[in-house]
Chains A and B, each alone.
Chain A
């Protein structure tokens, strides 16, 4: 038996539950209680495409040093699901802990001898106290939370306050929940030697940070960014973004006196209609967006090409999930990079933004609305299930009260009336971006016909080759302009000079940051660049050319970002070493460390091998 793991404020707790058993709120309560103790934490829901009955997990990372990505491994497993018993037991670190319901005796063969087993008679306590089957089910979750509160030395008043907040308005539920918490706690204190080697100590390290999901924050960004039209079709993991937009708008977007809505939300019949409505609304001058996932992007392809070619703004939130096809709808990936970057038939390229967390999802949502209007083109906000549906601990959201929406180049009545020349596809300013007019502006000037077929600079139909080429070349110039105004990549240099670099993006950020620290402790130094947008800023090419070898870390099978970088920047693919994680769970720090360390070992050994005959 290895030594029981001892750790203060640095461990992983994982709850294995049955979907639909009411465990989600008890587990969330656990995570929030840790935060209320001033200890940084993050939580990840690993759930099935199912409403009731299939396995679901909730993983909480607790770390004083703000390493809040997935680490890998589990120190404390709360195993409440017999269906997944074997795999849950296997995941525990040697010396780790298992909390399970010991009401029914289990043979010793079902356990491991290198872990610490804590059997709590949860069902027995429950059945003794409650007669209603539903109460028995729900309160069992709170009882194990009570047991944990003693085992980990949690701040009980903090949990009680949270229970009060959770059931505000349903006050009759507060007392029974507090009672259930106490039942579990009392049992643990009386039966066990509390606390364990894993302990929580209050800190003051959470600060003013907030605990939110990316979908909620991005929806709020769309509200702040001035979106008035949302058209969407339900698809996991994006639905909660559109639903959050609805909820935020109901509170923040009513006309004060009439209570009428300063927004319109349509749950469309499919994704084709969603993007069609967004394009129609944006053509007519409203800020509009849709939220979807990979399959939705596939369905929208034709319309996205139209918006690119006809130059109509559109904002598309792609909450990426396991693909291709229906794939793993409730698991995370970064696997739509290529299909979004070149969405549609013909020569197309689109602006992509890669937020790293819910805070950046808020900012990029508003930025995307500005960029789409400025560039008159579709803009994708490339989130994923990990960012979108999990609560992350991030800096508070900020909004500059002086910020004005950038509505881009729109000619108004006065412009037209003064006789200013209008050519819908005419590059007046040399940046590839033409001026547009909105329907209904002027009785005799500025009307034009929007079409997906080719046209000249004045929007007149033509099938002449040179006119087509002229237009396609201007679209490339516009993409150059985009390069200058999209969010720049962020570079972080190692403490020592190094020949190696790493490029990463999106939800990989927290695991990557932890991995860098772990690698540094092993003497491996990497400069890093976090890519935040496509088209690629010149900084990215500079970064690649200034390092001998670059690790490109991403969450898909084929190295899609690597393909995009190689193609667009015309760099030698051999310089870019793919580090790929794509099993549907969020990438872990341990995975990155191992993959990079192994690669470097191979690289270091290579000359030796070459020397051999």
Chain B
């Protein structure tokens, strides 16, 4: 439906953010996904998160692979550069882009086929490199664009629309991200905007590899009884460990929550994450216990959502590589070319 052009005019009283932008300034073109697709809700959450954070849209780069999920960057942040790369390889393109300019915000959007099947290797390696990014997987357990084949996150025993039963074990990207050293790991549900928007906002402010797995039911191929990624299944089995509030202010922590149920995390830039704990025995600072909890609840048939792990001062790829503060793409001859004298020394050393 790209022939439908969104009207530019909007209501004069539309609220603006600190930059004077309205919500509309963060939108993209009209979605061509199926009506009711969970992915569109995620796009809406990204738009809201960026609007509320007052981010200049052009300072965000959005990258994706191939698939329904990877089409979505067209539908948000129309003033941002986008890159729809090849299937399963968004992580390497994003890594390269990040190497070139450390000052932009990188948003990687992928799907379960893109990240857990064809792109599992690149997913794993960009997480372990600590690329400073928000990596969102729009996870529906199915290949939509090719019409309904299983992906690698489909649960064992779940059945496809045409009746085939999946006999392979599922890949849990959240568990992998935890194991591989992601410093921010969350899971949410496309239908739960209240939980998702703060998770995206905090992930954007987080320095390092931030991963969010968003269960996003496919209305066309995976929203039927028997699917573990349908709206009904997730609603019935959602086990939220916490509810996140996100504050940019660096003021004192609001203390009107009962002790033991509020947890405050300070990010590298001074922003605060306030966690309202729903599961009292859940600690988001312990990688190992997070993995254990995740697997325990999974065994009980529950989908754990919320901020599962965060480590505020983990660092990122540029820190590990010790690159200069200025983006590499801004350096010119003066900084890059060693000049004829050093070349003469090289020549002399090879005689």
Chain A positions within 8 Å of B, measured between CB atoms, are 35, 206, 208-212, 220, 223-224, 226, 228-229, 231, 252-253, 255, 258, 260-266, 268-270, 272-286, 288, 302-303, 306, 396-399, 401, 403-405, 437-444, 447-453, 460-462
Does B336 lie within 8 Å of A453, measured CB to CB? no
B40-89 residues at the A interface, CB under 8 angstroms = 56-59, 61, 63, 73-74, 78-86, 89
Does B96 lie within 8 Å of A278, measured CB to CB? yes
Q: Check: B4 CB closer than 8 A to any chain A CB.
A: no
Does A224 lie within 8 Å of B337, measured CB to CB? yes
B333 surroundings in chain A (CB, below 8 A): 226, 403-405
Does A439 lie within 8 Å of B93, measured CB to CB? no
Task: Give the docked Cα–Cα distance between A38 and B342 (Å).
Answer: 24
The residue in chain B whose Cβ has the minimal distance to the Cβ of A273 is: B92
How many Å from the CB of A606 to the closest CB on chain B? 50
Main secondary structure of the interface of B (DSSP, over half): helix
Q: Known contacts being A306-B86, A440-B81, A460-B2, is A276 close to B328, with CB within 8 Å? A: no
Q: Which of B89, B104, B331 meets A440, CB within 8 Å? A: B104
Task: Give the docked Cα–Cα distance between A438 and B103 (Å).
Answer: 13
Task: Give the docked Cα–Cα distance between A286 and B95 (Å).
Answer: 12
Task: Give the docked Cα–Cα distance between A261 and B63 (Å).
Answer: 26
Does A286 lie within 8 Å of B328, measured CB to CB? yes
A286 surroundings in chain B (CB, below 8 A): 99-101, 328-329
Task: Give the docked Cα–Cα distance between A281 and B94 (Å).
Answer: 8
Task: Give the docked Cα–Cα distance between A461 and B58 (Å).
Answer: 20
How many Å from the CB of A191 to the closest CB on chain B? 34
Does A447 lie within 8 Å of B79, measured CB to CB? yes
Does B96 lie within 8 Å of A231, measured CB to CB? yes
Q: Check: B147 CB closer than 8 A to any chain A CB.
A: no
Which 4 pairs, one residue from A and one from B, show the smallest C-beta to C-beta distance? Answer: A280-B96, A276-B92, A286-B100, A277-B96
How many Å from the CB of B125 to the closest CB on chain A? 4
Does B86 lie within 8 Å of A452, measured CB to CB? yes
B315-337 residues at the A interface, CB under 8 angstroms = 318, 321-325, 328-329, 331-333, 335-337
Given contacts A210-B350, A440-B103, 4 further A-B contacts (CB under 8 A): A265-B321, A280-B63, A397-B347, A399-B340
A220 surroundings in chain B (CB, below 8 A): 343, 346
Q: Known contacts being A211-B351, A447-B78, is A280 close to B336, with CB within 8 Å? A: no
Task: Give the docked Cα–Cα distance between A405 and B201 (Å).
Answer: 39
Q: Known contacts being A269-B122, A286-B101, A401-B340, is A444 close to B96, with CB within 8 Å? A: no
Does B97 lie within 8 Å of A281, measured CB to CB? yes
Q: Which of A35, A260, A302 meets B323, CB within 8 Å? A: A260
Does B104 lie within 8 Å of A439, measured CB to CB? yes
21 pairs, A vs B, C-beta closer than 8 Å: A220-B346, A231-B92, A260-B322, A261-B322, A264-B323, A268-B125, A276-B86, A276-B89, A277-B96, A279-B96, A283-B96, A284-B61, A286-B100, A303-B86, A397-B346, A405-B333, A440-B104, A447-B82, A449-B84, A450-B81, A451-B84
B350 surroundings in chain A (CB, below 8 A): 210-212
How many Å from the CB of A155 to the closest CB on chain B? 15
Q: Known contacts being A229-B99, A440-B101, A452-B85, is A284 close to B58, with CB within 8 Å? A: no
Task: Give the docked Cα–Cα distance between A451 and B129 (Å).
Answer: 25
Task: Give the docked Cα–Cα distance between A276 and B96 (Å).
Answer: 7
How many Å from the CB of B171 to the closest CB on chain A? 17
Does A277 lie within 8 Å of B99, measured CB to CB? yes
Does B324 lie within 8 Å of A255, measured CB to CB? yes
A260 surroundings in chain B (CB, below 8 A): 322-325
Does A264 lie within 8 Å of B346, measured CB to CB? no
A399 surroundings in chain B (CB, below 8 A): 337, 339-340, 343
Does B339 lie within 8 Å of A461, measured CB to CB? no
Does B323 lie within 8 Å of A263, measured CB to CB? yes
A285 surroundings in chain B (CB, below 8 A): 100-101, 329
The residue in chain A whose Cβ has the minimal distance to the Cβ of B344 is: A396
Does B338 lie within 8 Å of A253, measured CB to CB? yes
Does A252 lie within 8 Å of B342, measured CB to CB? yes
B339 surroundings in chain A (CB, below 8 A): 399, 401
Q: Known contacts being A212-B350, A440-B104, is A283 close to B84, with CB within 8 Å? A: no
B82 surroundings in chain A (CB, below 8 A): 447-450
Does A442 lie within 8 Å of B58, measured CB to CB? yes
The residue in chain B whose Cβ has the minimal distance to the Cβ of A450 is: B83
Does A262 lie within 8 Å of B322, measured CB to CB? no
Does A228 lie within 8 Å of B92, measured CB to CB? no
Q: Check: B121 CB closer than 8 A to any chain A CB.
A: yes
